[in-house]
Structure 1
Amino acid sequence: MTLEILKTKEDLRNLIDDYAYLGDEKKISEVMDLFTADVTYKVYMGGALVADVSGKENMEISFNGHASEVKTYFTLNGQHTVKIGSDSATGISFTQIKMIREVNGKDILTDYNVKYEDYYVVQNGKWLIKDRVGYFVIIETRLLNQ
């Protein structure tokens, strides 16, 4: 494995970790810097397509709307496997996301176990996410006991 491939793998891992860090902090405008202008983002829950957004501007509107309904995010990234080309790459990553929302004055915790399939490209020397598909495989919701 060459030094260049190792560097690219690190850059791509940092990209998905930055997505998690910034999302958890609700820094949506900074999250948008991780995507191409023509990004596509799809979400499947229980095998059904529940979200299909194209373009960074539409995505920012969607993400801001979602973030406004969530009190707290907490994301853990797991495995990340990539196949690297000269100026593009594909990747699969696994993530666990916890979200706390307030419903009727009570905090509700939802655990999401997600498999992401990504297509990355290099633009101006920086790796970005061009296409992302999230498969929300396991979803559990419960009252948060504090």
Structure 2
Amino acid sequence: MKSRILFTVLIFLSTLTFAQKMGKKNLEQRVAAIEDKMAIKYVVDEFSNLADTKEIEKQVMLFTEDGEVVSISGGKPSTPLKGRKQLQQAFSAFLSNFHTVYHQNAQQTIDLQGDKAEATSYCRVILVGNQNGKESKTTLYTIYKDSFVKENGKWWIKHRTSNFVHREQVDL
């Protein structure tokens, strides 16, 4: 009985906290915010799915026409990739090194700012292929920092920073 009461109190407090974060927004505004966050999560997940199936032409269409990607590896940023054509060339070249690509998306936070949004998403990327003449598996622990824009009712990635914070490689 005590655990039920405790559970009920915890649910009440978490609901109250969520409601406080929503401020004085009406139901329609709150539903719209939830829909926007779900749409942004879909874009991030779809990016990963399309990378896994190597559908790069579709993947780059998740970016604005002038979308930009900067990768950070070992604490050092790369030269920014700008525009869908450059993104497609770079993504295709990178993924051609691997026969198996697998993204596992985890926690995500989204800060909505009208028709713009900032998101942080954590991802583990597993890549299997021939590296230096040996079959190997590379695991990348990645934090994506994304800027989104909403145009004509659809969310697009405007800028992505891919921070590869840790890399593990094992021969198979």
- Please say if 1:5 is aligned against 2:36: no
How many residue pairs were aligned? 144
Measured in 1, the distance between the counterparts of 2:170 and 2:59 equals: 28
What is the correspondence of 1:119-138 to structure 2 with a 5 Å cutoff? 119-138=147-166
Deviation for aligned residue 1:103: 3.0
Q: Is the 8 A contact 1:81 1:93 kept in 2?
A: yes
The residue that corresponds to 2:10 in the other structure is: none
Provide runs of 4+ in structure 1 moved above 4 Å: none
Give the number of the structure whose alpha-carbon radius of gyration is greater: 2
1:96 maps to a residue whose letter is: R
**Structure 2 residue corresponding to 1:98, chosen from 126, 139, 154:** 126
Structure 2-normalised TM-score? 0.80
Conserved 8 A contact 1:93-1:117: yes
Q: CA offset at residue 51 of structure 1?
A: 4.5
Find 1:87's aligned residue among 115, 123, 126: 115
Shift of 1:50: 3.1
Q: How does 1:1-146 map to 2 (within 5 A)?
A: 1=22, 2-103=30-131, 105-144=133-172
Distance 1:104 1:114, change over 3 A: closer
Q: Which has the higher contact order (CA 8 A, sep 6+)?
A: 1
Gap runs ≥5 in structure 1: none
Three-state SS of the structure 2 residue aligned to 1:33 is helix
Return closer, same or farther for 1:39/1:91 CA change in 2, 3 Å cut-off. same
From the superposition, tell whether residues 91 and 104 of structure 1 become closer, same or farther in structure 2 (CA, over 3 Å): closer
Structure 1 range deviating more: 64-73 or 98-107:
98-107
1:83-140: CA deviations, max 9, x gaps?
0011110000000000012135531100000011000001221101000001111100
- The structure carrying a bigger helix percent of its residues is 2
Task: Say whether the 8 Å CA contact 1:44–1:51 is kept in structure 2.
Answer: no
Query: Between Structure 1 and Structure 2, which shows a larger proportion of strand residues?
Result: 1
RMSD (CA atoms): 1.1
Gaps of 5+ in 2: 1-21, 23-29
Calculate percent identity across the aligned residue pairs: 28
* CA distance in structure 2 between the aligned counterparts of 1:41 and 1:131, rounded to whole angstroms: 6
CA contact (8 A) 1:41 1:52 kept: yes
